[in-house]
Chains A and B, each alone.
Chain A
Amino acid sequence: MPGKTLAEKLLSEKSGSDARAGDYVEAQIDVAMAHDITGPLAFQTFHEVAGEDADLFAPDRTIFTIDHHAPADGVQAANNHNAVRDFAAKHGANQFDVGDGICHAVLVEEGFVKPGDLVIGADSHSTTYGGIGAFGTGVGSTDLGTALATGELWFRVPQTMRFDVHGDLQDGVYAKDLILRFIGDVGFDGCTYKAAEYTGSTIESLPVHERLVLSNMAIEMGGKTGIVPPDERTAEYLERQTGNDIDLSDAFHSDDDADYESVHTYDATELAPQVSKPSNPENAVDVTDVEGTEIDQLFVGTCTNGRYEDIKIVADILAGETLAPNVRMVVVPASKSVYTHMLHTGVFETLTDAGAIIQNAGCGPCAGYHQGVLGDGDICLATANRNFPGREGSMDSEVYLASPATVGASALYGEITDPRDIETNRYDDTIFAEVLP
């Protein structure tokens, strides 16, 4: 028998079986999460299967956030928020309210997820947790509601596609550009039912906030999860962010002779900044192919690229400058701590001086709910993960996806701009930690 992949080992451990790709297993969940859109439906399921007064499988490892319609944009959204608050309070679960931030940012920052954990979230971008070596996967509300009662869920053990990347990225090229290229190469459904595993010297040298970007967008190629094997860098990052001691001995790594479905090898030195054209993330091209495309709105934020390090890149580009006259810029920090850091480091002021609008932490206009919806004919350049038809508003609007550096550079000129000539505070993964006590 060949060795096992990280995903096979983790699901073997959690199911108490010798799990191989293709097997169906029932596995123990470490962490469960839902938010204001998916929570209420999951609560209905929980009540139906377990009863109104049943206990959660582990309230201390259950997290609910209010981030999608936050603050409420209408009565129904407000009622959903109250449903989350009531359920969390009644069952003693962790709950994060309006302004606390996006579920995926909060779970990592607050130390709920550790390397080696099996995490389900009722949100497709729950793949994000793979960036710290967990098996994170998105599920529906019925899955989540039943798992809240039992602490377990069925899984088909995925095959693994390995993305092996070597060499130094050029200045102005980031993890976002890597993942857009991967999606462009394998296609929007190229990793469906499978796990993505990111390896190689380039990935090993990426700071953890960048690894989270790779894992976050695994779902954009259909991936069940997207994992970066955890290392000392992972442990240091989590210890600094959360104050918790991290024990990597519980984490999993693929065997050298693991059976990968496929291996995709990349030379990072050749990669140009990428832009995904409307209306699918797989439409990734070199920025030079779309340079000069005029933009109406720039959006910096989301669970993909709304971290402090991302927003700092944009601020460094815009420092002392002003937005091009034809554009508006919406900046939405991914969490309250990002927001606070922006205030204390001057990033907030730099951006507002340049003409940007800064909103409360949350999902913002990413899915077209509110706070920056696009009108007919509007073109947006976003650090987001999706650019489906009508994703951020009108079916006649268009969204291009790019890294924070490309969005920052483009804000200066009002058209898609190659960020490679612009100096940024690249890969300084200590900037978040050093500012506040």
Chain B
Amino acid sequence: MKRTNSHLYIIIAFVIAQIAWLGLLALWIYWYVTNYIVFEQVGEKLSPLIDIQTPNVFVFTAGIILIVGIAVVMFIFFRNLSVQYKLTNLYDNFIATVTHELKSPLSSLRLFLETMAYKNVSEEKRKDFLSLMMKDVKRLDNLINTILEISKLEQKKIVHDRREYKAGILFEELVNESILNLSVPEGVVSYECSSVSYCSADKKALQIVIDNLISNALKYSKEAPTINVSVKDNRKKIIIDISDNGIGIPQQYQKKIFNKFFRIDSVNMPNVKGTGLGLYWTKEIIKQHKGSISVHSNGLNKGSTFRIELPALKNKG
């Protein structure tokens, strides 16, 4: 409600400013036209030698330029204000989601610690609780790492360890590693490859990409998820498609989901947790590999396919 109002104020202020400068322009033209004769008479009296046409045109043009200048400055000002407003909204959203992501594992850690401190917990239960606590600690660790790594990436402080890999072998290894990292049950992820190209890649960074995409496919899946990763060549590019049978992504969000802090707010979403940083991070890593990433989905419950395009190395393969 508060945000909608703030947005409305900006629009109203912008409209008023536009009316003001248009009014100013109209006044200026009116003033000039009504005083034109006076200019001529005064000019003739003061100095009959002055070419009366020249200064008049100059005054008129200067006035117009000044007013148009004001309009341009005003436009830039409001544009920046609007960008700033959007950023503030995104930042607020980010703070809310990060706070939530920090507080949730912290609450369960505290709960288990208090439970074990105050209650007579059996050895078996204690082991269960400790394993859940480890999961929460890992989640906190991941969140903090994500924030720090993205900050480094944006400040270009990351030194990439680029090496040449045969794409088919590299991505098979990355997918297998993701299956282990995310404890994906057997048979959920399939892999196929027809690529013979080589690419230059930072394996650690691409692992984050594949982890993020497979993890998203699982989070936004239905009861029995199936994920297919395929790698193929297309002219000078290596195409990596990661397809799932999940809930899909509505058309209007397909470009936005790579924006920083963006999260889809919909009643159809089976998962509301997250910071809105995962896909942004993924996109930035791919960009640093001089590649691109896009998503295609036929709509709700029709799955989605994330496509990564990486440049193939010349004179290889």
Co-complex (A, B)? no
- Give B residues with C-beta under 8 Å from A: none
- Give A residues with C-beta under 8 Å from B: none
